[in-house]
Chain A
Amino acid sequence: MLTSVETLTLHEAAGMMERGNLSSEELVRALVETIHSRDPRIDAYVGVDEDDALGQARAADEARKNGARGKLLGVPLAVKDVINVKGRPCTCASRILQGYVSPYDATVIARLRAAGAVFLGRTNMDEFAMGSTTENSALKITRNPVDTDRVPGGSSGGSAAAVADGEALAALGSDTGGSIRQPAAFCGCVGLKPSYGRVSRYGLTAFASSLDQIGPLTKDVRDAAIILSTIAGRDPMDSTSLDEPVPEYEQGLSGDLSGIKLGIPREYMVSGLDAEIERAVRGAAEACRNQGAEIMEVGLPHTEYAIATYYIIATAEASANLARFDGVRYGFRAPGAHDPIEMYGRTRAAGFGPEVKRRIILGTYVLSSGYYDAYYLSAQKVRTLIRRDFEEVFKECDALLAPCTPTPAYPIGDKVKDPLRMYLGDIFTVTANLAGICAMSVPCGATAAGQPIGLQILGPAFGEETVLRVGHAYYDCGRNPR
């Protein structure tokens, strides 16, 4: 029987089900109860599909009786409400998708479904994944479970909060400039952004197509490895997914770091970085050294241009990606218009929140005739330089250790009126998206005030095995010393 579902990891639950000590139905019931009792405090979920989830759980239990097996069989997951699940709403935390019910499964959902996973509910986020606090949701604000006066981070704030608070074993998020890693750091869980092209984006409502990736938020690194092995791999429906072999990532979790070279980018340990976070990251590096890793300082000279580059490319792509929300085919349509163009104007004016509008306008501007070369084209060139920085560094070392965020979670409302300050908080995370490499945030202690701190581990493109191995040795093994 279940005594503490809040602290249960995915692989522990899978083990109990495998041994017959727990059924998927019991697990789902326990989680639903937890959500009912705990979620009113943090508002992580925008929808819990209780009956449907119980149906899937019973089907998984039945399949197990008939001999089916698998790490994800009967495992309930929460899904960020930006990923299409057939027959369910996909609000993207926006008014403009009011009433939309998805007619199809995203590829990640289809793969998890085939592995027997159960879809428990949909989690809150910043509208269209634009934001770093989950305050930009048109539906509600999600609170940080560690301190409910603070933001959970974003945009996958609902997923991070749900996992950290024990309301989900694990969740899916999406990361365009840090949207998985930053909330994982703020809430104290594990968040992995896979390399660009590692996981199919088909069915992920696009924010910035050349930067977006789906990834797991989990309680430990092993769980992230298990989920990644299932969702990764070439998808014919996503031309940008790459045909690279998908390892059994869990098998690479050796628990030891001998022979591993870890770099610390000096550009990430700068003034403006919270002193407690710097101390925590250096402490984590020391712990890795004690586990056999070699630590070295490295340089990523173009880091200072990353924020500007990111906000040009991301908004440019977003301005086109979000053009489809026009009230013609689905979702919200504003009444009272006399012609289609007026209908678009009214629908989009009432349907989008201020941050989304800000980014659409920015993106439209940087793509405009006469400005394209100065902004978009220049940004693409700098993006290449940033990618080369990483390519150079990964010739010397296997992975990088860095802070995930310059500060711990801040109070709700703190940055709402100052978007630029919020953008600057993405300084350590946007580089991985621009370079297309993989990166993961794992908890590395807390500030004196009790705020979780995230250690970011960055690896080369398709170097997830290394990143997971380092994260596992540092975090999982450090958490449960043998």
Chain B
Amino acid sequence: MQEFETVIGLETHVQLKTRSKMFCACSTANGAEPNTRVCPVCLGYPGAMPVMNEEAVRLTVLTGLMLGSRISAYSRFDRKSYFYPDMPKNYQISQYDKPLCEGGAVDFDVGGEIRRIGIRRIHLEEDVAKNTHFKACSGVDFNRAGVPLMEIVTEPGLTSPEEAFEYLLALKRILLYAGVSDCNLEEGNIRCDVNCSVRPRGQSALGTKSEIKNLNTFKGVLNALRYELARQIEVLRSGGEIRQETRRWDVDTGVTSSMRTKEDEHDYRYFPEPDLMPVVLDAGLVEEWRCSLPEAPRKRRLRMVEQYGLPDYDAGVLAADREVADFFEKTAAMTANAKAVSNWIMTEMLRLLGETGRPVAALPLRPQDLAALIELVETGQVNAGTAKEIFAILFEKGGDPATIVKERGLVQVSDEQAIEDFVDRAMAGNPGSVQDYRKGKKAAAKFLVGQVMRLSSGKADPRVVNRILKEKLASE
């Protein structure tokens, strides 16, 4: 591969988190019966007219602000014409030469190195319908038709499939952070068209590109690029020529194949959409939106390492989700032990979130409660095992840890007399183990500690138990 270098550019279509479609009041919710989320507008009936969804514009501008784009004070919609059964009007309302956002960049890490890819433009358009098979016939389900899509176009500046993959992960984190999309890949929230070419190293002109359409997973992007670039290099090595063409990726066979060549490309005949007014954005409003933006996830990760002394790994995990990171920072502000907060979140909380599928915002668990729990552990009032139980209760129902400890009698027993009683009972009840220990089987002590913990219902302070048990085993 060394004698060739790779140039990749991505067009990423992102479904925006709006309740209604781009140009009508129909719901964007998934899973409805076919052709039930439709109206004269999104079905392209005679006389129906589009009305712009202002929330979709706001979300697109927010994305542009997150990526450092220039926000166009004046932009407009255009008609992109081509015939296909999934197109209700046989033109798509999109943006051609006056997109909402231009410029910007996404930073991401590949193999420990920082990379930056330039963003060319971000524009807004409507999704098409879905050709589908019904019981007795083929047909079209128009529920998706008119759903708002934001298209983010990079510069042709990515140099490997791995970079493309990492870019997409970074982009997804940003989109989730800004709250502009659910980024649910299973539901087709993010779809990519990939442009790629190869050229002999050192050559300045770009090679002939091919475009791979409609990749709906990041892994798909990675694998399709790996295959396609290898194919292009193979063609060039064997003295062939790359044709400019559009290709499709077959997930099952793992190969790309030609859909159409440049000669068959549509002439989209773009012209300004006369049914919509130009989008004129007030500078004050854009500024207001800018102020509402969260910190970018990558910046936040770096700051969290700095500010809380966390390992980069921890900060990366926590910062990946805005709500989780918010929860961490609120909790860390109430305790001196940020690493303990990180541990609780990365192990127990993320596990339970994963199992229950609950959103952080809806949890009864509050930052001050986790901080209080950490305090109870640190002051030796509850042991680690009990703390996990309390955490589970907090996660499930919420409450004040100290009260839970009292109500459930979970306070740690550090009283030496009480623990001595438990130890005596454990030794009396298991003379065999005592003998084993004294004969040199040190592992028998572990069993006896377990018995003491059982007798104390898990409340005995394990450090005190260990000390007293060892004294008693040694003394006779």
**Interface residues of A, Cβ cutoff 8 Å to B:** 83-84, 90, 92, 97, 100, 102-104, 106, 201-206, 208-210, 236-240, 316-317, 319-320, 323-326, 328-330, 340-341, 344, 364, 367-369, 372, 376
Contacts and interface: CB of A to CB of B under 8 A. Distances in A.
A202 B48 CA distance: 6
B37 interface: no
B49 A237 contact: yes
Nearest to B139: A328
Contact of B47 (A83, A364, A369): A83
Contacts of B90: 323-324, 326
B302 interface: no
A368 B50 contact: no
A155 B3 CA distance: 67
Interface string B75-103: 00001010111001111000000000000
Nearest to B267: A369
Contacts of B269: 319-320, 364, 367-369, 372
A202 B40 CA distance: 11
A367 B271 contact: yes
Interface residues of B, number: 29
B277 interface: yes
Top 9 A-B residue pairs of the complex, sorted by shortest distance between their CB atoms: A323-B90, A209-B274, A367-B269, A205-B46, A210-B274, A203-B47, A324-B44, A324-B89, A340-B85
Given A103-B40, A323-B90, A367-B271, A330 B45 contact: yes
Contacts of B267: 368-369
Contacts of A100: 46
A306 B48 CA distance: 28
B46 A239 contact: no
Contacts of B236: none
Given A320-B271, A341-B83, A202 B49 contact: yes
B129 to A, nearest CB: 10
B47 A320 contact: no
Interface string B397-412: 0000000000000000
18 contacts: A202-B47, A203-B48, A204-B47, A208-B274, A237-B51, A239-B51, A240-B274, A240-B276, A320-B271, A323-B89, A323-B91, A324-B89, A324-B90, A326-B90, A329-B88, A330-B45, A340-B84, A376-B271
B275 interface: yes
Given A324-B88, A325-B46, A329-B88, 6 more contacts: A205-B47, A239-B49, A240-B277, A316-B271, A324-B89, A344-B83
B392 interface: no
B296 interface: no
A328 B47 contact: no
A328 B50 CA distance: 20
Interface of B is mostly: loop
Interface of A is mostly: loop
A63 to B, nearest CB: 28
Contacts of B88: 324, 329
B334 interface: no
A202 to B, nearest CB: 5
Contacts of A104: 40, 45, 48
Nearest to A83: B47
A317 B45 CA distance: 16
Nearest to B80: A320
B281 interface: no
Nearest to B82: A323
Interface in B261-279: 267, 269-271, 274-277
A328 B276 CA distance: 25
Nearest to B81: A320
B43 interface: yes
A137 to B, nearest CB: 16
Interface of B: 40, 43-52, 79, 81, 83-85, 88-91, 140, 267, 269-271, 274-277
A326 B271 CA distance: 21
Contacts of B85: 326, 328, 340
A104 B43 CA distance: 13
A92 B46 contact: yes
Nearest to A92: B46
A372 B89 contact: no
A145 B288 CA distance: 63
Chain B CB count within 10 A is highest, among A102, A240, A324, for A324
A341 B84 CA distance: 7
A329 B44 contact: yes
A415 B245 CA distance: 48
Nearest to B142: A329
Contacts of A326: 83, 85, 90
A356 to B, nearest CB: 14
A100 B45 CA distance: 10
Chain A CB count within 10 A is highest, among B52, B84, B90, B91, for B90
Contact of A323 (B50, B51, B83): B83
B81 A323 contact: yes
Given A240-B277, A328-B140, A372-B271, A320 B49 contact: no
B46 A90 contact: yes
Contact of B274 (A97, A317, A328, A340): A317
B387 to A, nearest CB: 57
A324 B90 CA distance: 5
Contact of A239 (B47, B50, B79, B81): B50
A368 B46 CA distance: 24
Contacts of B83: 323, 326, 341, 344
Nearest to A203: B47
Contact of B46 (A97, A236, A320, A344): A97
B277 A239 contact: yes
B410 to A, nearest CB: 60
A236 B83 CA distance: 29
A330 B43 CA distance: 10
Given A238-B49, A239-B51, A364-B269, A320 B79 contact: yes
A236 B277 CA distance: 12
Contacts of A90: 46-47
B32 to A, nearest CB: 18
A240 B49 CA distance: 10
B162 to A, nearest CB: 36
A475 to B, nearest CB: 32
A326 to B, nearest CB: 6
Nearest to A322: B90
Contacts of B271: 316-317, 320, 367, 372, 376
A80 to B, nearest CB: 12
A324 B275 CA distance: 15
A221 B285 CA distance: 46
A174 B43 CA distance: 23
Given A239-B277, A369-B267, A324 B49 contact: no
B51 A240 contact: no
Contacts of A103: 40, 45
Contacts of B46: 84, 90, 92, 97, 100, 102, 205-206, 324-325
Nearest to A328: B85
A206 B79 contact: no
A26 to B, nearest CB: 33
A131 B189 CA distance: 46
Contacts of B40: 103-104
A83 B49 CA distance: 13
Given A100-B46, A323-B89, A326-B83, A239 B52 contact: yes
A90 B52 CA distance: 26
B130 to A, nearest CB: 13
Contacts of A83: 47
B304 to A, nearest CB: 45
A132 to B, nearest CB: 22
B86 to A, nearest CB: 9
B36 to A, nearest CB: 14
A209 to B, nearest CB: 4
B91 A201 contact: no
